[in-house]
Structure 1
């Protein structure tokens, strides 16, 4: 269900995996296995009610912001509003704990693939939600 909602924004499983793998540092021999595991973990986490609810919250907040219904100038993405970061951090933490929180800063800063596209399209909340999803899932891949 959550993946269907994300597809409305051009977010597919394929480009989630690509963005996750964009910051992968490791051997080429393991890359295929990491990619396969990442896809499984993303699908599992998108069915996690806490993760999916936070992603839906980000979608709704972006919708309200684009309609001028938030208590700040949404199009400015002001520095004093950090609720978008909180959503991303909460998603990362839900999936893989503290290590994912550190990984979130990496994905949020570099904005690979679909994260950068969402940011450029002005999705203040959804880009951080997806960064949190990928940070958590990539952290989870390496728990094994």
Structure 2
């Protein structure tokens, strides 16, 4: 299956349609992953193909799926002013956003994914940084976990 067909397959899944409301799609997820990928030019196409395969499987995983829904709902509630803290300031004593991101990464790729999540969360490449700048306290970490988990699993599979 070529990349165009698999991205259509991925982006037409319900959870990806929910993420599309926040301008998140499979190509932007791949772009975020590739921004921190150190690989030879001749490996890039193989890496992209493998990323899409893992992403396709991951967004169907009921744990990943429900954690993504949780992040979306938490941000909706935060933006509506329904949190018991100042959501807009993203206080450091609230760490449930990181827990969601780490849980997604861990579900996809185990400890490697959790470790990799910290890099994606800190550097915020691509769509992850855009979500952060737009004030999505939970969704940026959930997407960082999704990308980190997929990239970690990818290198586990390729090597």
User: What TM-score results when the alignment is normalised by the length of structure 1?
Assistant: 0.98
Residue in 1 aligned with 2:44?
A: 31
Does the alignment pair 1:112 with 2:130? no
In 2, the alpha carbon distance for the partners of 1:7 and 1:40 equals 19
Q: Which runs of 5+ in 1 are unaligned?
A: none
- Which secondary structure does the structure 1 equivalent of 2:156 belong to? coil
Deviation readout 1:103-129 (Å, 9 max, x if unpaired): 000100110000000000000000000
In 1, the alpha carbon distance for the partners of 2:88 and 2:95 equals 14
Deviation readout 1:13-46 (Å, 9 max, x if unpaired): 1111111111001111111100111011111101
In 2, the alpha carbon distance for the partners of 1:119 and 1:135 equals 16
- Map 1:59-138; keep pairs closer than 5 Å: 59-138=72-151
Runs of 4+ in 1 over 2 A off after TM superposition: none
User: What TM-score results when the alignment is normalised by the length of structure 2?
Assistant: 0.89
Does the alignment pair 1:141 with 2:144? no
Q: CA RMSD in A?
A: 0.6
- Which secondary structure does the structure 1 equivalent of 2:84 belong to? coil
In 2, the alpha carbon distance for the partners of 1:63 and 1:135 equals 24
